[in-house]
Amino acid sequence: MSLTEEEKSLIETSIERVADIAGDPAAQVYARLFAEQPEMEPLFVLDRDGNARGHMLAEALDCVFDLLGPRAYAPTLIQSELTNHDGFGVPPRVFATFFRVVRDTFRDILGDAWSTEMDAAWEALLSDIDAFVEEQAKKYGMEV
């Protein structure tokens, strides 16, 4: 990853501000995901209380924080979750869009507090995630 310390800080700050403003943003994130990728909603039919969605968002954010820091487990987590999601019929390109949905939802929540610098930092992170997902998908013979 080629993020600068300033970019990393901007991403962390944006996540912290979202938590301050919205608390748990899972409902907003999944509302956007289902609006953009309606074929994903039936996969959550058994998640009646939203716990699985909340857990998945928490894992995605933990993954982001790890990518901004030590990178101790995020690449392995993404690799294994690609395989898990492929088993549910979620193609890698849709899997990767989840991180974009998170960013877009956070941008909406922050409104005027979202800066062009935050946007650029998130875009750099998302480009790195997209490249890794594509690399892993190809490596494991998944349709990209």
Using 50, 70 and 90 to split pLDDT, how confident is the model at 143? Answer: confident
CB 53 within 8 A of CB 30: yes
Q: What is the pTM of this model?
A: 0.94
Instruction: Tell me the backbone φ, ψ of residue 83, rounded to 5 degrees.
Output: -65, -45
Q: Taking 60 as the threshold, does the pLDDT of residue 1 lie above it?
A: no
Tokens of 8: 């990393």
- Choose the weakest-confidence range: 25-34, 56-65, 114-123, 131-140: 131-140
Task: Give the per-residue pLDDT at 93.
Answer: 86
CB 102 within 8 A of CB 60: yes
Round to whole Å and give the CA distance between 49 and 33.
Answer: 17
Round to whole Å and give the CA distance between 102 and 15.
Answer: 10
Query: Which whole number is the average pLDDT over 11-29?
Result: 97
Tokens of 54: 């909340």
Task: Give the per-residue pLDDT at 2.
Answer: 79
Round to whole Å and give the CA distance between 13 and 90.
Answer: 30
Mean pLDDT of the chain: 94
Structural domain boundaries in the chain: 5-139
Query: Which whole number is the average pLDDT over 103-122?
Result: 98
CATH topology of domain 5-139: Globin-like (1.10.490)
DSSP string across 88-129: TT--HHHHHHHHHHHHHHHHHHHGGG--HHHHHHHHHHHHHH
Task: Give the per-residue pLDDT at 140.
Answer: 87
pLDDT tens digits along 39-83: 999 999 999 999 999 999 999 999 999 999 999 999 999 999 999
Query: Which whole number is the average pLDDT over 124-134?
Result: 94
